[in-house]
Chain A
């Protein structure tokens, strides 16, 4: 099914925000829709978006490539994105990230064996006073998790696992 058919209502709402002759502005919100289910934008969706907004596929791809929160490759269902920029690192973010790698048995950039979590190190998330912190990017959007410990993080992952079990 084309993106336009699948998210008819959402796309209509998005397009209403911008002048009709400037519908290209809708490319960013529509890209979020396009990667909602699989966590990345597939080729067919790129073609749909290009057609819908009268831009080229290359332009769509260049936007995906430019912005950190769009992805063109499959990863874990949730991307766990830990900030380890200067202020967070001054509050232990590097140690937190290392310990998390140890606990999950993966390196930064890798995905847990069950395909649930991909661990990433990212730049500033504007929560410098609440480090260690990370955001999760998944099917339900982006959520912040602040003042985190390893225990709290492992609990969160367990909760995601349980939710996953219920869905299946």
Chain B
């Protein structure tokens, strides 16, 4: 666990909650914070106590203005009840929790970009190492986890690790909040054990596909995903990290976007690149320039003005970027492009001139 890496020779320590979720397809943190604020805040407080941090920050994306105000109220309630503040539970330990609003930048979900932003700078990722547990906020040892992770802590401590491990699969213990979106009848957040199949998520929980149409493709980790060609075998694949890898994808944030047979993959690729082009922070050249050119190419291809050579060039640009970007954003931006073109060639053939 990240917490054990914290540098105990350098003080003070900080704990930061990453509530900057802004990946297309991911929408669990807001629901957790709005419907279960105290479990989240308790997890954050426990983490702070564990590493001896006396100040913790919750970095929320700026759009979560109302959520921040709501959490401020809950923090005040906890202070009043004696669960936050000075000399907690008669111990020589004090803790303050503060909310901090970002201002609309996906990249601030990357932990070192988040720290830069919290320090009052542009949110651009740092070169790593050093990692935040040794050099984090204000250069001090810092633990950063996301909202879901902190929220899991109180239950695991209360019931024990064995209880948590009794759910899920051998590879991926416990439960996960699956964010289901796209062409399903009942999109939403579903907390289920790891190992639940795509079919169970989509049909039992999500109510199936609109108009009873077939599933054409799945993106299992939001806009950052490989696009999976769907057949019966894929639908029956258990969702844990190891097994999803065997079908050429990653489970990542478990943000499952479902595409039916009315959706053209060249359009999907254009949409995802529109997002990454807008959110690229501009610090490293492969991501900044690569996304600019991928945007031009996907727009031309999708508009019907593209040629086969444009598709080849698009694939080439994406592959050139892989392994060369400073942070995961650049890497992620190529996933839908490469897998879209390689796995759904007919969708691209259809729109380009010969």
Residues of A within 8 A of B120 (CB): 22, 24-28, 53, 55, 63
Contact A129 to B27, CB < 8 A, known contacts A22-B119, A28-B120, A68-B103: yes
Please provide the chain B residues from 111 to 153 with a CB less than 8 Å away from any CB of chain A in the complex: 117-123, 138
Residues of B within 8 A of A89 (CB): 271
Complex Cα gap A87–B181 (Å): 6
Kindly state whether residue A141 has any CB partner on chain B within 8 Å: yes
Binds B, one of A3-11, A120-128, A154-162: A120-128
B24 engages A129 (CB within 8 Å): no
The residue of chain A having its C-beta at the shortest distance from the C-beta of B98 within the complex is A17
Contact A90 to B181, CB < 8 A, known contacts A85-B275, A126-B21: yes
Please provide the chain A residues from 101 to 129 with a CB less than 8 Å away from any CB of chain B in the complex: 122-129
Complex Cα gap A27–B281 (Å): 19
Kindly state whether residue A139 has any CB partner on chain B within 8 Å: no
Complex Cα gap A124–B123 (Å): 17
Please provide the chain A residues from 1 to 60 with a CB less than 8 Å away from any CB of chain B in the complex: 17, 19, 22, 24-29, 31-32, 53, 55, 59
User: How many positions in chain B have a CB within 8 Å of any CB in the partner chain?
Assistant: 52
Least CB distance from B296 to A in Å reads 18
Complex Cα gap A3–B25 (Å): 39
Provide the B58-91 mask, 1 if CB < 8 A to any CB of A, else 0: 0001110110010000000000000000000000
Residue in A17, A123, A129, A141 whose beta carbon sits within 8 Å of that of B66 in the complex: A141
Contact A85 to B65, CB < 8 A, known contacts A24-B119, A69-B103: no
Least CB distance from A130 to B in Å reads 8
Complex Cα gap A62–B283 (Å): 13
B104 engages A129 (CB within 8 Å): no
The residue of chain A having its C-beta at the shortest distance from the C-beta of B22 within the complex is A124
Complex Cα gap A7–B227 (Å): 50
Residue in B62, B63, B100, B183 whose beta carbon sits within 8 Å of that of A17 in the complex: B100
B278 engages A123 (CB within 8 Å): yes
Provide the B20-54 mask, 1 if CB < 8 A to any CB of A, else 0: 01111111011000000000000000000000000
Residues of B within 8 A of A24 (CB): 119-121
B103 engages A90 (CB within 8 Å): no
Residues of B within 8 A of A17 (CB): 98, 100
B24 engages A128 (CB within 8 Å): yes
The residue of chain A having its C-beta at the shortest distance from the C-beta of B272 within the complex is A86
Kindly state whether residue B335 has any CB partner on chain A within 8 Å: no
State the 6 A-B residue pairs at the shortest beta-carbon distance, nearest first: A68-B104, A67-B103, A24-B120, A129-B187, A142-B65, A128-B181
Residues of A within 8 A of B (CB): 17, 19, 22, 24-29, 31-32, 53, 55, 59, 62-63, 66-70, 85-91, 122-129, 135, 141-144
Residues of B within 8 A of A (CB): 21-27, 29-30, 61-63, 65-66, 69, 98, 100-106, 117-123, 138, 179-183, 187-189, 223, 255, 257, 259, 263, 268, 271-272, 274-275, 278-279, 281
* Known A67-B105, A87-B25, A142-B62; 9 more pairs at CB < 8 Å: A63-B120, A67-B123, A69-B62, A86-B272, A126-B21, A126-B26, A128-B25, A128-B181, A129-B189
